Structure 1
């Protein structure tokens, strides 16, 4: 700093003091020496720059610039009674003996540090131009204001050696927190007043220089074990366990690091500090050390689950607890030797394993929650969150909503917004499965609010929120957000943590949207990708294959769909479904129900007049494990069968109820999924005309048409093809032979040939191949 910088405000104020002793007690760079130089020049005095008390005489002006880090001798008693004046400059960490006594007797005045900062008015008087830029760059700190060309490297070096090197550990932690959060506990403001104000960083323009210098000082300090412990303990006391743990790990104090990890919620630390911090902390413990600790092994297993690696989680548990750790019967047995924390974690892990919960196991699990104190909100909330997934999978939505509310209660009391987000996400999922888009949107908004409360970024959870919002929009007729998600986010999404219910959710909406708005090829490619990701999970494979069959059915590729369904390894096949033995109403497995519905859908299209088909569908509609969306689809099939039986009154009544429910719930996607049947129903003048008399229903049908999910005219209406002719055209487009067509439709081969002749004539074709080409051109098949 230039020594003769003229600051009239400071100079005049110092000379105006009546006390004989005036002390400038401020950090480096505040202009103390510059002020002393100006006073010395004014009085023609010398500056004494030594630790020893300067020689003095009565009526003399004495100027003492105490060197940094010095240990000055005491102020003489004579100063208190003499008429001499002395101006002293020192740093806050320099103790001047006798100063407190002088202050007590009113003989000394210590200049407020903040007074030495340059304010806006003074800057206007000093600097001819660029005042705003100077104040922004310096924050009023004289060092920078009067040295605008000071390089970043030199500034960092100055900060390190002159301001931070001698600061106590607690002060360094305070400043670190200011840089990280913008807030701090300024118990020792005097050490870094030039850098921070009461509400955050003062000189924001040099934040990077401060950050670099502070990191260098802390790195040097923690080489001394006592300082490392003091700094780490200070971070922990200020509510920053991540930095505390990392410092303890760096110096090899793993027991201390583990103690703070456990106190900072243990395995739940992930949900309060984010996945990146969680990964760093776990990586900082040596594997041999981590395997000796139950809480660290569980944390590592949770980390593996979050990455979708269930096998690694199982290996970790087996290595630490033995093979019985992966046997649910042994873990949850009454005489189990495992801790309650381990059993609670193992319950959570069952969800990732897509394990089937028996009623007996569920009863045992509910007994587990009683072992945790009422105020242990994290473990209690996580228990209910785990059970929530089981209830969703088994379509027990009333119980699911109840445990979701309990989980939310505990998570809110634990101030865990990330966990609240997961509960809201699943509540929205429940409503979508129930076909209630309006309620799903409310839960989606609440989930978004929870995400905004996170103090860290969780990219995968943001993707989950994007998917949820896109699916809600898709329900109401807007496909663009979901199409955008599938184009931009699906690869990262598919490689991250996904619970079974969320995977089912993604498979259903993703394949449906791609099939509706892109192509059957795109939808099947999407499913093939998931088939690769979930290659080791046979249940997911079945789910994917059922979805593929549905996509083929929606594309009017019924023969391929039938072959796809027949290839699925399951006790549920076409013969079992149509045997009408009353089993359908008692099915409870998610995939078995979906497979039975797919076969019923296939049969409804191929053989709507089949005896007993209506009672089969009514039977499965009575199954309490169906979702409302599935029940709605089955009701549309009933309406289709009624129409084919010429019972238009029944068909109209069923459809009216369906459309009114969809209008009330704000959902049209469930209707679009059954457009193969709906088009024929709505195109019937007596049915369509009846439905059009209701404004809400008319609006739903318009939305279906506007969104492209329902053609303006049905396939059979184009080119005057009859329904039977359209169906035969679709079947030959799939490669079906006349004999197969005759068998499937219950016709003779001669009748099939007769209908084919009509098809050729109406389409202007000469042979089978030309008819298939015309069918593709007209959009009959994908």
Structure 2
């Protein structure tokens, strides 16, 4: 493409020429700017006005001084240039054009006595105001917008106006070549790497950061107002990428990697080094980047991709690499591979935490710390001896390393939650947050602490304290700069559980439908997984017909891995589902099998045994067994003593205490003691209202439904404003058709049959679907018709629709 010759000629700069020529005698004028600023053109224009010529030698001679003037255009290839003392003393008017990286010597005496001035890059860049009408408006706009007003790009701006469409590839290639040969030619690997990082997300005025030592190579307009969409930026990116590729292919890999590491890009540095076979250097980068902690500062996928590339030789000789890889595998749920790796490289006794954590153990401090991480993922229930060993291990922690101390208290927090020492867990969380504040904060790890606190409080049954913890968790997560999809999924579970506690189960239902599988496949600490199973299984029991519940609970078996002791929790929840359906014998069989598997002694259910229970699963099993006894048609007097013992047990949660009060009210109603039933139920509702823990009421609806149908009990409760509000929340929480049917007096089997007859299924098909005899179907239907005041299917379905049960 050709352009009018006038557009390709340099623009006159009369104002800058006047500024140069008006300089006082004896002073020195510097034209200091990167390549392409038009320094040489300006110098020739000024020299022409002065009636002299320009010197472009490395060392001007005395003969180059004309009429007292010396216009010295320092060659671009010169790193340093010197003016001789003889010339410096002879010349009256000295003008020097040079690039910022070039060092000019021999001028100190002259500048000291005569002074100096500088026409810098800001002054040399062309603006629309200076150009005026000397160029077509389209060319001016293109020069200023696409090329930051840099004079060297005037020919490109003239060849292609913005109204003509995209710049041809030839123009882009030309701009890229020019940038590479002029702007970047003097940049070494380090500055080039730092420039490439700035180009990824350019921010204005990088010159304020001394570490950005590449700024003098670029036009200042680019730095002051970067436009990543401009043609100049496109050329810069291409030129920098090509130059970096040239550096890495020519043996400058380690220098580029050092720059990446200094810019807080350790993973990029490691990837580059591993790509070019510098594995030991990559391991050093990992060590300097705090190894195991780096996984919390970067994207998990990127971290995994980098560390899993190390060879077996490096893994065998470098513990930092070993533990980075094993931590990554734990995050991916590959716990069996973790065990194999640590046994292979550290010995089989590494699997015994008491041996590893004891004072004087043969293992390094890093190995002992990682064993602590493994204990968290293994769902290990620490004994008193183990907690004592942890205290001894604490003495080996380095003073002043806040992140290590915060991590230690995070582990302690998890262990105390498992041990149901909630006050001790809160203290550990507070201590961890103190250490995070000392180190200047760590949003992701602080998120985990606050999320842990939310789990702790909801597990205990105090939704009031869980809500601010969840808000703090969200605040921390929103400050994390790298992708944290799984962490947001954890947060959504907590927020859905809080909504459930407020009588709004739909968010938990949605989480179960859309996100639970992805949540369960990721690496999750055990307390959160147990928490998730409890809430997910409860909302299934509340909101879904019984026919789909076994599928969900059976699906949880996929996550019964060797690192998580999920069997008791799943079996207890399965038994609870049977209890809610009135299938007490099946619930008892399930619990009996679990008790046998756990080798639970019979005396555990004695009052003394119940009072002494401390293990999470033992308490859960005892509560489930007691729930069967409470539901028995004729519970014996021992039930009351068992409830007394559990209520006195210091390990019982606030949530369980409310359930026990509801069970007392149920037993009192069975014994026709309405006054006692009212008292116990009022205490349960008062506690639920005070704690904001309304989910437990929904969980115990099998007992509450008949209690609240009695007018004398309900009318008494409704005299209290706080209990009236709680009753409203409870009523709203059971708003699903199935829940309404249950609250209206149907058994689980009757509610199930109602859905099946509404679906048009005949008795024979229903019997096949439910694996029961056809006469049993007829028996249940007769009871269903009686409760609905109907004599046939059509009437029952019509009434159920009117009640909102279908």
Fold conserved between structures, TM > 0.5: yes
Is 1:91 paired with 2:99?
Answer: yes
Which secondary structure does the structure 2 equivalent of 1:273 belong to? coil
Residue in structure 2 matched with residue 408 of structure 1 by the alignment: 433
- 1:455-510 superposed Cα distances (whole Å, 9 cap, x missing partner): 32222222222222222222222334333433443333222111110101111222
Is 1:631 paired with 2:694?
Answer: no
- 1:656-680 superposed Cα distances (whole Å, 9 cap, x missing partner): 2222222222232121111121121
Residue in structure 1 matched with residue 37 of structure 2 by the alignment: 30
Residue in structure 1 matched with residue 350 of structure 2 by the alignment: 325
Is 1:178 paired with 2:185?
Answer: no
Going from structure 1 to structure 2, the CA distance change for 1:465 and 1:59 (only over 3 Å counts) comes to same
Q: Are the counterparts in 2 of residues 460 and 493 from structure 1 also a CA contact under 8 Å? A: yes
Following superposition, the deviation at residue 218 of structure 1 comes to: 3.0
**CA–CA separation in structure 2 for the residues paired with 1:437 and 1:18:** 79
Is 1:338 paired with 2:345?
Answer: no
The correspondence for 1:161, drawn from 181, 186, 207, is 181
Going from structure 1 to structure 2, the CA distance change for 1:72 and 1:403 (only over 3 Å counts) comes to closer
Residue in structure 1 matched with residue 312 of structure 2 by the alignment: 287
**CA–CA separation in structure 2 for the residues paired with 1:701 and 1:377:** 48
- 1:88-132 superposed Cα distances (whole Å, 9 cap, x missing partner): 433233445545555445376442232223457547777765778
Going from structure 1 to structure 2, the CA distance change for 1:73 and 1:549 (only over 3 Å counts) comes to closer
Following superposition, the deviation at residue 367 of structure 1 comes to: 0.7
**CA–CA separation in structure 2 for the residues paired with 1:191 and 1:725:** 80
Is 1:501 paired with 2:530?
Answer: no
Q: Are the counterparts in 2 of residues 53 and 73 from structure 1 also a CA contact under 8 Å? A: no
**CA–CA separation in structure 2 for the residues paired with 1:458 and 1:728:** 41
Residue in structure 2 matched with residue 453 of structure 1 by the alignment: 479
Is 1:686 paired with 2:692?
Answer: no
Residue in structure 2 matched with residue 390 of structure 1 by the alignment: 415
Q: Are the counterparts in 2 of residues 119 and 140 from structure 1 also a CA contact under 8 Å? A: yes
Following superposition, the deviation at residue 293 of structure 1 comes to: 1.2
**CA–CA separation in structure 1 for the residues paired with 2:523 and 2:556:** 13
* 370-379 or 236-245, which deviates more: 236-245
Query: Which runs of structure 2 are paired with 1:350-749 in the superposition (5 Å)?
Result: 350-414=375-439, 415-520=441-546, 523-536=549-562, 539-554=565-580, 561-562=587-588, 564-565=590-591, 568=594, 570=596, 576=602, 580=606, 582-607=608-633, 609-709=635-735
**CA–CA separation in structure 2 for the residues paired with 1:319 and 1:397:** 37
**CA–CA separation in structure 2 for the residues paired with 1:362 and 1:126:** 83
Which secondary structure does the structure 2 equivalent of 1:451 belong to? helix
Query: Which runs of structure 2 are paired with 1:84-233 in the superposition (5 Å)?
Result: 87-96=95-104, 98-99=106-107, 102-106=110-114, 109-118=117-126, 121-122=129-130, 129=137, 135=144, 137-143=146-152, 147-148=156-157, 149=160, 151-179=171-199, 182=203, 184-186=209-211, 188=213, 191-194=216-219, 205=230, 207=233, 209-223=235-249, 227-233=252-258
Residue in structure 1 matched with residue 329 of structure 2 by the alignment: 304
Following superposition, the deviation at residue 444 of structure 1 comes to: 1.1
Is 1:275 paired with 2:283?
Answer: no
Q: Are the counterparts in 2 of residues 136 and 203 from structure 1 also a CA contact under 8 Å? A: no
Following superposition, the deviation at residue 609 of structure 1 comes to: 3.9
Q: Are the counterparts in 2 of residues 194 and 202 from structure 1 also a CA contact under 8 Å? A: no
- 1:245-269 superposed Cα distances (whole Å, 9 cap, x missing partner): 4555455554444344323222112
* 495-504 or 629-638, which deviates more: 629-638
Residue in structure 1 matched with residue 16 of structure 2 by the alignment: 10
Going from structure 1 to structure 2, the CA distance change for 1:35 and 1:759 (only over 3 Å counts) comes to closer
Q: Are the counterparts in 2 of residues 549 and 562 from structure 1 also a CA contact under 8 Å? A: yes
Going from structure 1 to structure 2, the CA distance change for 1:478 and 1:257 (only over 3 Å counts) comes to same
Going from structure 1 to structure 2, the CA distance change for 1:591 and 1:717 (only over 3 Å counts) comes to closer
**CA–CA separation in structure 2 for the residues paired with 1:463 and 1:716:** 32
Residue in structure 2 matched with residue 746 of structure 1 by the alignment: none
Going from structure 1 to structure 2, the CA distance change for 1:38 and 1:622 (only over 3 Å counts) comes to same
Following superposition, the deviation at residue 346 of structure 1 comes to: 0.6
Q: Are the counterparts in 2 of residues 556 and 781 from structure 1 also a CA contact under 8 Å? A: no
Following superposition, the deviation at residue 454 of structure 1 comes to: 2.5
- 1:727-765 superposed Cα distances (whole Å, 9 cap, x missing partner): 9999x9977789999xxxxxxxxxx98x99676556577
Q: Are the counterparts in 1 of residues 32 and 121 from structure 2 also a CA contact under 8 Å? A: yes
Going from structure 1 to structure 2, the CA distance change for 1:171 and 1:495 (only over 3 Å counts) comes to same
Residue in structure 2 matched with residue 745 of structure 1 by the alignment: none
Q: Are the counterparts in 2 of residues 3 and 33 from structure 1 also a CA contact under 8 Å? A: no
Q: Are the counterparts in 2 of residues 636 and 654 from structure 1 also a CA contact under 8 Å? A: yes
Going from structure 1 to structure 2, the CA distance change for 1:23 and 1:551 (only over 3 Å counts) comes to same
**CA–CA separation in structure 1 for the residues paired with 2:111 and 2:227:** 30
* 310-319 or 772-781, which deviates more: 772-781
Q: Are the counterparts in 1 of residues 500 and 508 from structure 2 also a CA contact under 8 Å? A: yes
Which secondary structure does the structure 1 equivalent of 2:381 belong to? coil
**CA–CA separation in structure 2 for the residues paired with 1:761 and 1:442:** 49
**CA–CA separation in structure 2 for the residues paired with 1:127 and 1:247:** 47
Following superposition, the deviation at residue 513 of structure 1 comes to: 2.7
Which secondary structure does the structure 1 equivalent of 2:565 belong to? helix
State the TM-score, normalizing by the size of structure 1. Answer: 0.85
**CA–CA separation in structure 1 for the residues paired with 2:538 and 2:17:** 78
**CA–CA separation in structure 2 for the residues paired with 1:25 and 1:170:** 23
**CA–CA separation in structure 1 for the residues paired with 2:627 and 2:540:** 20
Q: Are the counterparts in 1 of residues 228 and 234 from structure 2 also a CA contact under 8 Å? A: no
Q: Are the counterparts in 1 of residues 546 and 748 from structure 2 also a CA contact under 8 Å? A: no
**CA–CA separation in structure 1 for the residues paired with 2:145 and 2:375:** 56
Residue in structure 2 matched with residue 748 of structure 1 by the alignment: none
Q: Are the counterparts in 2 of residues 683 and 713 from structure 1 also a CA contact under 8 Å? A: no
Where structure 2 has 5 or more consecutive residues not aligned to the other structure, the ranges are 1-6, 161-166, 755-765
**CA–CA separation in structure 1 for the residues paired with 2:539 and 2:142:** 54
Pairwise CA RMSD = 4.3
